[in-house]
Amino acid sequence: MKANSGHFLLEEGMEYRDLAEAFPELLTTFLEETEQMPDDDEVMAMYIYLNKLELDKNRKPEGYNRKGRMRMVFPLTGVTFYIRGTSKSAEVVRVTEKISKFLNKKGLKHEVEYNRLSNSKE
């Protein structure tokens, strides 16, 4: 299967703050799996700190929305997030499945869907 986006539809009633504790490991897993880890540990600490600050306040975090192979995006509506690749690939599916297993391990109930973006081609 190939996809250009993998969406994590979090259980109804879940709030952003529910992701706060797991977020450092979630972001690290995403960046390691996509080979986008920053070279500088301080940069990584800043990404985690800024996102966790918003999550602790129950607000939408930035995620990882920088130029690169993949992005982790928290849309403006709903408590959800998705990863998006630059093109349709099996890599998006692999990383989505890895993150889904991580979320399950942390007890964060969710469903996964692919290619939910309006410009996604199936």
pLDDT tens sequence across 8-43? 999 999 999 999 999 999 999 999 999 999 999 999
Q: Which residues contact 68 (CB under 8 A, 6 or more apart)?
A: 34, 36
Output the pTM of the full model.
0.90
> Does the domain at residues 3-114 carry the CATH identifier 3.30.70?
yes
Q: Which residues contact 47 (CB under 8 A, 6 or more apart)?
A: 27, 38, 64
> Could you tell me the residue ranges of all domains in the chain?
3-114
